[in-house]
Amino acid sequence: MSKATKSAQTGTPYTFYGSLPLKQAIPLGLQHVLAMFVGNLTPLIIIMGACGMTADAGFGDVRTALLQNAMLIAGLVTLVQMFSIGPCGGKVPIVMGTSSGFLGVFQSVAAAMGTGVISYGAILGASVVGGIFEGVLGFFLKPLRRFFPPVVTGCVVMSIGLSLISVGINYLCGGNSATTADYGSTINIGLGLLVLVVILVLKHFTKPGGMLSTSSILIGILVGYIAAIILTLTMPNTGINADGETFTYAWVVNFEQVKNAAWFAIPSFVGFGKLSDIHLVFNMQSIIPICIMFIVTAVETVGDISACVEGGMDREATDTELSGGVICDGLGSSFGALLGVLPNTSFSQNVGLVTMTKVVNRMALTCGAVFLILCGLCPKIGACVSIMPQPVLGGAAVMMFASILVSGIQLVTREPITAREITIISVALGLGYGLGSTTGATGQLPYYIQLIFGGSGIVPAAFAAILLNVLIPKNQEKKA
């Protein structure tokens, strides 16, 4: 056997195929898990809170089971994305996880349908339909690819980042569980800033690409979490508001949920076991806007796969890779919804990690996916994350969500920006995102238009970018 053949079989961290020694593959895989672990669970925590499914309302066991399933689904769908099952999976070094891009639309649906398991069931039912819809789109991606150049994809990603920044600040100030007297308190903001400072120090004052730099978000959150636990054990946990009512501070850590969680549990499907109270609800009020959001996330996935392949493998993504990636995105989301998990999509944080380190080996990423699956079988891990104070998550979310905006800017600037691109970006973000994200701006329009285009601004921005990209002629400046 020649050295070249042996090298191809064993592989390197910088080749997609080929095996690696476990002592090398495991750390590289964990590096990817550390980059997305918290981001994978945060959207689920936010939407459970928006639906009123909090531990205080008696949903402690449900929350733990859903977080457990979120880790399991992320690991399974990542494996499908890398190895593929028929046309499902692009065989690309993409790590999948719970999408934060749907937060705005999901919050709009929750607000329209009211809190409780019914609204959460409507979100899941729409995710099943929307995932199948995106999977079908994946089969026809080749003829549709011309509608998604970097300027369109970048506008979509930027609008996602813009819509989430306020969510991160809300968490930094105390989140939905904070009372008026506690919201924006010195301790809440101080905890979040502590997390942010630790992340910045580790990310920029340690070895670039090293474990400390790559896992800075996780370490920062752990530091904030420990600080919150110390505060819980050493300071009063309750206060009194202006009306004389007693309230619990948002930074308090309640260990009861972790104590009651099992060390090992088989995941539950919707309607069974710990998720027996949640049922799929198919409601057109939620299906229409969420299906449109699946089109948007398909655009984002195309951008992520393109960026990952170009940055990590120094070539353009093929039509087969893009098509298989989008199909996996959609069908994986539908399957995840059956276990109560929100839609799964490619994680931009990991795309950035691939671009920075050039580590694309499939075996390394497989080790990370297997670790996620193991975490999904241990409910105590989900419980530990579930009780994490919202200001701690806010410290990391502010930076993570803003980084999505920066990723959109990078996509837009990948090619030279002419007057045409400036017009598309300006109208998509100014008019599209501005109208959609401004409360009451669409209040006089028909109800379904309000539901689709109001709330987050992501959908109208995407619609405007796609439409203008088709209508405005190219090479305008050259003709002039």
Which pLDDT score, from 0 to 100, does residue 452 have? Answer: 63
Q: What's the mean pLDDT in 376-383?
A: 77
CA distance 136 to 129: 11
Residues with Cβ < 8 Å from 376, sequence gap 6 or more?
68, 69, 70, 71, 72, 73, 74, 75, 267
Please answer whether residues 293 and 273 qualify as being in contact, where contact means their C-beta atoms are separated by less than 8 angstroms: no
Q: Whole-number mean pLDDT of the chain?
A: 81
Which of 121, 70, 48 lies closest to 379, judged by CA? 70
Among 76-80, 148-152, 312-316, name the one with the lowest average pLDDT. 312-316
Among 58-62, 123-127, 360-364, name the one with the lowest average pLDDT. 58-62
Structure confidence at residue 8 as a pLDDT band (50, 70, 90): very low
Does the CA dihedral 66-71-76-80 come out positive or negative?
positive
Kindly tell me if the per-residue pLDDT of 438 is higher than 90: no
Q: What's the mean pLDDT in 8-24?
A: 75
- Tally DSSP H helices, then E strands, for the chain: 22, 4
* pLDDT tens digits, one per residue of 206-229: 877 666 776 677 788 889 989 989
* pLDDT tens digits, one per residue of 129-145: 999 999 999 998 878 77
Beta-bridged to residue 88, according to DSSP, are 85
One-letter identity of residue 203? K
Q: What's the mean pLDDT in 174-181?
A: 72
CA distance 121 to 465: 31
Kindly tell me if the per-residue pLDDT of 337 is higher than 90: yes
Following DSSP, what letter does each residue of 203-230 receive, concatenated? HHSS-TTSHHHHTHHHHHHHHHHHHHHH
Kindly tell me if the per-residue pLDDT of 3 is higher than 60: no
To the question of pTM greater than 0.95 for the whole model, the response is no
* pLDDT tens digits, one per residue of 386-417: 678 888 888 877 877 777 777 778 778 877 88
Which pLDDT score, from 0 to 100, does residue 426 have? Answer: 92
CA distance 229 to 325: 41
Structure confidence at residue 478 as a pLDDT band (50, 70, 90): very low
One-letter identity of residue 63? R
Among 39-48, 274-283, 365-374, 421-430, name the one with the lowest average pLDDT. 39-48
Kindly tell me if the per-residue pLDDT of 160 is higher than 80: no
Kindly tell me if the per-residue pLDDT of 7 is higher than 60: no
* pLDDT tens digits, one per residue of 449-472: 766 666 667 778 888 888 999 898
Which pLDDT score, from 0 to 100, does residue 21 have? Answer: 82
Structure tokens at 200: 């910045």
Which pLDDT score, from 0 to 100, does residue 445 have? Answer: 76
**Rg of the chain's alpha carbons, rounded to an integer?**
22
Helix (H, G, I), strand (E, B) or coil at 273: helix
Distances (CA, A) of 309 to 81, 92, 139, 306, 359: 14, 7, 20, 5, 11
> What is the CA 22 to chain-centroid distance, rounded?
28
Report which DSSP code applies to 98: E
Beta-bridged to residue 97, according to DSSP, are 345
Structure confidence at residue 261 as a pLDDT band (50, 70, 90): confident
Among 329-333, 447-451, 471-475, name the one with the lowest average pLDDT. 447-451
Please answer whether residues 37 and 218 qualify as being in contact, where contact means their C-beta atoms are separated by less than 8 angstroms: yes
Does the CA dihedral 324-329-330-331 come out positive or negative?
positive
Which pLDDT score, from 0 to 100, does residue 476 have? Answer: 53
Q: Which helix (H) or strand (E) holds 29?
A: helix 22-50
Q: Which residue has the tokens 């009512």?
A: 245
Q: What's the mean pLDDT in 10-23?
A: 78
Q: What's the mean pLDDT in 293-309?
A: 80
Distances (CA, A) of 171 to 57, 198, 389: 19, 18, 9
> What is the CA 201 to chain-centroid distance, rounded?
24
Report which DSSP code applies to 432: I
Which pLDDT score, from 0 to 100, does residue 397 have? Answer: 77
Kindly tell me if the per-residue pLDDT of 233 is higher than 50: yes
Q: What's the mean pLDDT in 61-81?
A: 90
